[in-house]
Amino acid sequence: MDFDLQWLLIGLPIAFALGWIASRLDIGQWRRAQREAPKAYFQGLNLLLNEQHDKAIDAFIEAVQRDPDTADLHFALGNLFRRRGEFERAVRVHQHLLQRADLSGADRARAQHALAQDFVRAGLLDRAEEAYRTLEGTSFDIEARLARLTLAERSRDWRTATQIASRLEASGTGSYATRIAHHWCELSLQAADSGDETAAADALRRARDAAPHAPRPLIIAARRAALAGDAPTAFDHYSEVLRHAPAVFPLVAGEYATTAIRSGQVDAARATVQRRLDEHPSVDLLNAMRLLDGAAPAHAAVPDAGARAQALLHAQPTLSAALAVLDTPLDAHDEAALRDVREAVARAARAQQRYRCAACGFEAQHHHWQCPGCLNWDTFPAQRVEEL
C-alpha cells in the first residue's frame, strides 16, 4: 500500500510532464508547418515585387507543394506563368484547379476566367471563345461577353460580334450603338463586295437604325447612291454628315463637292464649304473648295487658287498649306505669303531639330551628356533627329 502510493505520488507529475512536453512538441511541429507555407509564399511575393519572376515561380511552386489545398497560390502561380509567356504551364495550373472537386463555385468561375485569358494570350482563340462561353451566368458574365465581343471583332466575325453587342446593350451595361452600327457597316461592305446588293442594302439599313447620326453609315449610303448615279441623294447624305458629325466632314469633302457639281448645287455647296473653311481651316476643305470654284458659274466671284492657299496658310501654318501655296504660281504671292511659308517650315522643323537619346528615346531641345530620362552617359548622338 505504501509502495503503491509512493509510486503514484512520483508517477503522476512525471506523466503530466511527459504529456505536456508531447503536446508542446506537437504544437511546435504544426506551427512550423503552418509558418513554412506562408514563408515560401511571402518569399515568392517579395521576389515578384523585385521583378525576379523566375525565382518567384520557384518559391510559389514550393509553397504549392507544401500546401496543395490553397487555391489562391495556384492562381498566383498560373497568372505568373501567363505573364511570363509560359501559356502551356498556365493552362495546366488552371486546368488542374478546375479538376478539383472541393473547389468553390466562385473559384471555379475564377479559374475558368483565368484559363480563357491563357488561351487568348496563347492565340488559341477558338478555345478562348469556348472557355468564355461557359462563364455565362457567373460573376464574370459581363467580362466574358466583352471578351467574346473583342474576339469576334478580332476574327472579323461581324455577325457574332453584333449579336453579342446587342445582348450586352439589352443587359443595360452601356451603349453599344455605334459599335453595332460599325458591325453592320462591315457586313454591308462585305455583301456589296460579293455582289449581294439586297443584303448590302439591308445591312446598311440596320446600321442606320442602330445609330442614326453616326457618320459611317451615312458615308456608305452616300457612296452607294453616287455609284448608282443618284447624285442628289448622295449630296443629301453628305450634307447630313456635315450636320451630325462635322469633325468627320474633311474625310468626304471632295466627294461632297463632286456630288454637288453633279446635282447642280454648286452655289449652295460653295457657301457651305466656305463657312466651314473659315471656322475650321483644313487642306481637305481647301481642295474641295477648288473643285467647286472650278465649276462655279461665270458670274460668281471666285478668288484665285493662290489667294485661297495663302488664306489657309495664314490661318493654319502647316506644311500641307505651305505646299498648297508653293504649288500655285509663285509670282502671285507677296512678301507676306513668303513669311507665312517660312513660319510653317520653321514650326515643322522645330520638332526635327531635337536630340534623341539612343537608349530610351527621350527627346530634348539641347544635347545632354547624361540623359535626363534614363540617366545613361553619352547616349545622345551629336546629330539632331532630322540628321539621323
Residues that bind Zn ion (CB under 5 A): 357, 359-360, 362, 371, 373-374
Query: In the bound complex, what is the minimum distance in angstroms from residue 348's beta carbon to Zn ion?
Result: 25
For Zn ion, give the closer residue by CB, 10 or 374: 374
| C-alpha to C-alpha distance for 330 and 221, rounded to whole angstroms | 41
Compute the least distance from the CB of residue 355 to Zn ion, in Å. 11
Round to whole Å and give the CA distance between 231 and 249.
18
Q: How far apart are CA 193 and CA 195, in angstroms?
A: 5
Q: How far is the CB of 372 from Zn ion (least distance, A)?
A: 8
Please say which residue, 318 or 376, places its beta carbon nearer to Zn ion.
Answer: 376
- Please identify, using beta-carbon distances, which residue of 37 and 371 lies nearer to Zn ion: 371
- Between 249 and 362, whose beta carbon lies closer to Zn ion? 362
CB of residue 375 to Zn ion, shortest distance in Å: 7
**Residue placing its CB nearer to Zn ion in the complex, 11 or 372:** 372
Q: Which residues, at least 6 apart from 198, have a Cβ–Cβ distance to it below 8 Å?
A: none
Query: Rounded to an integer, what is the distance from CA 161 to the centroid of its chain?
Result: 17
Backbone φ and ψ of 204, nearest 5°: -65, -40
Of the candidates 304, 307, 231, the residue with the CA atom closest to the CA atom of residue 269: 231
Cβ contact 138:153 at 8 Å: no
Cα angle: 88, vertex 94, 95; to 5 degrees: 85
For Zn ion, the closer CB: 348 or 385? 385
What's the gap between Cα 135 and its chain centre? 23
The minimum distance between CB 386 and Zn ion, in angstroms, equals: 19
The answer to whether residues 69 and 95 touch, using CB atoms and an 8 Å cutoff, is no
